[in-house]
Homo-oligomer: A and B are copies of this chain.
Amino acid sequence: MGLGARIRGLRENVNLTQKALAEKLNIPHQNLSNYERGFRQPDYETLKKIADFFEVSTDYLLGHSSDTKTVVQEEKTSYNVTDDPDLQIAFKDASDFSEEARRQAIDFINYLKEKEKAKGRKNINTDND
């Protein structure tokens, strides 16, 4: 997923039109259209404006998500379920989610759990599906 798709996704999540968002960012809406379709790339100033507006990192917008370890390194709690720092952070993030998002996170993890189980049992079945 590229920069354009991320901008578009964020914009649609807040139900803004290109023109409306462009106005808030003080840029022509044609430019925003070009950014979202990947035909142009905003300069750094505009990139930061977009990141600020949506309160996301530029790493996220640029798809530089490969950790960057920029995150809060908190001490391990007594309730330490994992050694994976990224998972810990995700866990804490999810704790602050709305109930709906929390539910989605739980569902997805349960889905992965089933998948993991199936993987562990791969020798049992000869073929399926």
A residues sitting closer than 8 Å to B (CB atoms) are 3, 9-10, 13-16, 24, 41, 43-44, 47-48, 51-60, 62, 64-82, 84, 86-88, 90-98, 101-102, 104-110, 112-122, 125
Choice from B3, B74, B109 contacting A94 with Cβ under 8 Å = B109
Choice from B13, B43, B60, B64 contacting A48 with Cβ under 8 Å = B64
- Neighbouring B residues of A95 by C-beta, 8 Å: 78, 80-82, 84, 87
Q: A70-B57, A90-B110 are in contact. Are A44 and B41 (CB under 8 A)?
A: yes
Number of copies: 2
Least CB distance, A15 to chain B, in whole angstroms: 7
Docked CA distance A45–B7 (Å): 18
Interface contact A57-B68, CB-CB below 8 Å: yes
Least CB distance, A55 to chain B, in whole angstroms: 5
Least CB distance, A75 to chain B, in whole angstroms: 8
- Neighbouring B residues of A52 by C-beta, 8 Å: 64, 66
Interface contact A112-B116, CB-CB below 8 Å: no
- Neighbouring B residues of A104 by C-beta, 8 Å: 112
- Neighbouring B residues of A60 by C-beta, 8 Å: 70, 110, 114
Least CB distance, A19 to chain B, in whole angstroms: 11
Choice from B43, B76, B90, B125 contacting A72 with Cβ under 8 Å = B76
